[in-house]
Amino acid sequence: MYSSSVGPLVSVCIPVFNHSDFVAECIESVIAQSYPNIELIIIDDGSTDSSYAIVEHYIDACKSRFRRFKVISRPNIGVSETLNEGLRWAEGKYFCGLASDDVIFPNKTSVLVDYLESSPDTVAAFGSVYLIDEDSKKIGQRTASATYNFKDIFLLRAELPAPAALIRRSELDSVGGFDKNTKVEDWDMWLKLSIGRHTAIAVVSDVLAGYRVHSSNTWKQLDAMHAAKVKIIEQYSEHEYYAQARAVVECARFRDLSITRKKESLKVFFSIARVPRVYKELRFYQGLCYLFFRW
């Protein structure tokens, strides 16, 4: 698990599902990591396109590149259970779950391992990211340099881009892995890992990954993602920030609906306008701008 010459072992898990246009670039980005001591598990989660056939082309390269390597293809069980399968296989000190449409940049692993090795109280570290389109062209950037606690994450004040994450595997194991019953397994996990800690999660300013923005991961899932966030918030109904978190999530929904579904956003506006807390939330005013000034 450890080597003084190459650093602690890092486990990378790529859950693959119908990303035939992107999975090759994703795998290649892990192969190209400057950090040597990596194990990789690729799990095809019941893809119905040619994703697994593309994965097979990389088996020999992965076997020669990684300390340990495994590839699995089986029926669909969902991303959370796939990540948990990767966790059960993993032996690394650190763990990274990487969606098969995202990419990581060559120094990602080395930068975050160095950070976590020098910051023993930090549960997880993230890099900043480029937003990339379906052709891998840069369309934006999200950069931060900060440490976050439970309150920051609960109130949606923390930008935590999943492809740029590196997490202590022992901490993931301690909370029982990812919840298979939610569509926002990453936010749910950051809450579990940060509750009861003063500072738990860090983001560094180095741009370490490319987060893919395309039709299947944006507005299409808006309703389902909102419902999943509300369900997670209900788990913390006794927490002092519960009411504020509900207001924040409703304001976020109002803002997002105001961009794409204005009639529905009006209904949300009238339901939340009676709640004094929303007038302290930036997303509420962003929603008003989108609703009335962007058509």
- Is residue 22 located within the same domain as residue 37? yes
* Distances in whole angstroms, Cα of residue 258 to Cα of each of 21, 118, 164: 31, 43, 29
**DSSP element (H, E) containing 43:** strand 38-45
Final residue of a structural domain among 188, 217, 246: 217
- Is residue 240 located within the same domain as residue 212? no
pLDDT at 216 (0 to 100): 53
- Is residue 270 located within the same domain as residue 182? no
User: pLDDT tens-digit profile of 46-84?
Assistant: 999 999 999 999 999 999 999 999 999 999 999 999 999
- Is residue 136 located within the same domain as residue 38? yes
pLDDT band at 215 (very low <50, low <70, confident <90, very high): low
pLDDT at 107 (0 to 100): 98
Q: Tell me the mean pLDDT in the region 252-275.
A: 94
Residues 6+ apart with CB under 8 A from 4: none
Query: Rounded distance, CA 294 to CA 176, Å?
Result: 44
1 domain-assigned? no
- Is residue 132 located within the same domain as residue 193? yes
| Count of the separate structural domains present in the chain | 2
99 domain-assigned? yes
pLDDT band at 12 (very low <50, low <70, confident <90, very high): very high
Final residue of a structural domain among 217, 245, 278: 217
Return the exposure string of 241-268: e unless at least 16 CB atoms fall within 10 Å of the residue's CB, then b: eeebbbbbbbbbbbbbbbeeeeeebeeb
Is residue 240 a contact partner of residue 161, using CB atoms and an 8 Å limit? no
User: pLDDT tens-digit profile of 232-255?
Assistant: 999 999 999 999 999 999 999 999
Percentage of the residues of the chain whose pLDDT score is greater than 70: 96
- Is residue 242 located within the same domain as residue 208? no
Is residue 268 a contact partner of residue 259, using CB atoms and an 8 Å limit? no
pLDDT band at 4 (very low <50, low <70, confident <90, very high): very low
- Is residue 20 located within the same domain as residue 137? yes
- Structure token pair of residue 76: 């669909």
* Distances in whole angstroms, Cα of residue 213 to Cα of each of 168, 189, 210, 216, 218: 27, 22, 9, 8, 7
What are the backbone angles phi and psi of residue 236, rounded to the nearest 5°?
Answer: -115, 35
pLDDT at 219 (0 to 100): 53
User: pLDDT tens-digit profile of 105-137?
Assistant: 999 999 999 999 999 999 999 999 999 999 999
- Structure token pair of residue 215: 């039709």
Which of 97, 42, 102 is CA-nearest to residue 74? 42
- Is residue 206 located within the same domain as residue 244? no
Range of the domain at 170: 10-217
199 exposure class (CB count in 10 Å sphere: 0-12, 13-18, 19+): middle
- Is residue 47 located within the same domain as residue 190? yes
Query: Rounded distance, CA 262 to CA 114, Å?
Result: 46
2 domain-assigned? no
- Is residue 78 located within the same domain as residue 88? yes
pLDDT at 3 (0 to 100): 45
- Is residue 150 located within the same domain as residue 184? yes
pLDDT at 292 (0 to 100): 87
Q: What is the CATH number of the domain that holds 160?
A: 3.90.550.10
Query: Rounded distance, CA 281 to CA 264, Å?
Result: 20
Largest CA distance in the chain: 61
Q: How many CB atoms lie within 10 A of CB 210?
A: 25
Which of 217, 116, 102 is CA-nearest to residue 164? 102
Decide the pairing of beta strands 146-148 and 201-212. antiparallel
